[in-house]
Structure 1
Amino acid sequence: MFERFTDRARTVVRLAKSEADGLGHPMMGTEHLVLALLLEEGGVARTVLDGAGVTHAEIRAAIAAGDDAAALRSIGIDLDAVRTSVEQTFGPGALERAEPAERGGFLFRRSKLPTRFNNGAKKALELSLRVALSLKHNYIGTEHLLLGVLKEERGAGGRLLREHGLTYDGTVERVQAVLRDAA
């Protein structure tokens, strides 16, 4: 599938990996794809996102703040109380992420595991191909990645974009307008 990606779309995937690494996330998700789309200047997706008022700083801050904690609070789960209870039972630092053990030997020289796509990002990439085909495009550009993220309903990236007022259908219209203007 990656052979259909434009240079800009490939750059977005590389930037998404950098964003995930920079946030200390072991898996690359749709939220990292959104951050990368906001960094790739000149792409159709960036034009659409700029027009919608979505900024890299806002999205990164929302991800760093941990919107999951806010979502859990909204249904009555207090993460601080959960952490306190777990640490009382299992000891301080019980919830801290353990670093993977350093592997020795010739075949295991890497000290850090590679960042991989989570299921949402995989689905968004698959959907970007379907979106491209539905638009009768023989390539996958940044616009298709953006639409794939929005179409993948469970991903954090799509949720963050919907919070900024973007819908799939409305974004398709914006993408087509940008493509028409560029032609």
Structure 2
Amino acid sequence: MPATPRPSLYCKMPGSMIIPRSIRSGNGGNKYLAKPVFDHFTAEALQAIIIAYDESRRLGHNYVGTEHIMIGLIAQKTDIAAKVFKLMGINLEDTRLEVLKTIGRGNGFFPVEIPFTYRATRVLDHALAEATLLCHDNIGTAHLLLGLIREEDSVAVTVLQRLGIDDLNKIRNQVNRLLSGENTEAVEEKRLSKIEVTINLKYE
């Protein structure tokens, strides 16, 4: 009898992922994402990023920040991140208003390339790490949301706190529940176990 395949303790995203410096706008307002920047993003995650770009322009900002990514995740409406925000009582209108109160409008100047802020880039890094830890082949809105709440000093998290989210782990628990359907605590234990093993091997 052939041996039963064992799940790999370590998972690697196929190919390579380049964290984007910008999202560009093509002629006629048709937006495109440079390859291979987002090769491993799901269609829903790409949609959220494009919405984030549009939101930045709508607010007159010349950058894409964590707050724009958060609005993109909410406005995407159909995927896991949007469902989690809805479960947590976070809606698009209130979030937009709180973002505006927190950072205000920009001057409306748009460079040729709209850069991601340092923290927004870290959110994308975290999203890749979350997908890898969960052995998922693609980065979805769930991973972006998990990456977002890991940047605790970001504008996005500040806005969430002002909207009444006093414990970011509640968001992670909802994401885990929707991702797997398993017991939330069991999922978190597996994740922490993988992190611990990775850290131990790194320093051996």
* TM-score higher than 0.5: yes
- Give the corresponding residue for 1:121: 120
Q: Distance in 2 between matches of 1:62 and 1:162?
A: 10
Query: How large is the RMSD of aligned CA atoms in angstroms?
Result: 2.3
TM-score by length of 2: 0.64
Whole-angstrom CA distance in 2 between matches of 1:45 and 1:179: 10
Q: Map of 1:63-82 to 2, 5 A cutoff?
A: 63-65=99-101, 67=102
Higher relative contact order (CA 8 A, sep 6+): 1
TM-superposed CA distance for 1:139, in Å, is 1.3
1:39 aligns with 2:75: yes
* 1:153 matched residue in structure 2: 152
CA contact (8 A) 1:152 1:158 kept: yes
- 1:169 alignment counterpart: 169
Aligned mates of 2:67, 2:167 — CA distance in 1: 16
What percentage of aligned pairs have identical amino acids? 27
Superposition deviation, residue 4 in structure 1 = 1.2
Question: Rg bigger for which structure?
Answer: 1
How far off is 1:59 after superposition?
1.0
Equivalences for residues 10-89 of structure 1 within 5 A:
10-65=46-101, 67=102
More helix by share: 1
C-alpha contact (below 8 Å) 2:57/2:108 kept by paired residues:
no
TM-score, normalization: structure 1? 0.71
Distance 1:19 1:136, change over 3 A: same
Change (3 A) 1:98 1:27: closer
| Partner secondary structure for residue 165 of structure 1 | coil
Runs of 4 or more consecutive aligned structure 1 residues displaced over 6 Å after TM superposition: none
Q: Which amino acid aligns with 1:159?
A: T
**In structure 2, distance between residues paired with 1:38 and 1:134:** 24
Contiguous gaps of at least 5 residues in structure 1: 70-95, 101-111
User: Helix, strand or coil: the match of 1:62?
Assistant: helix
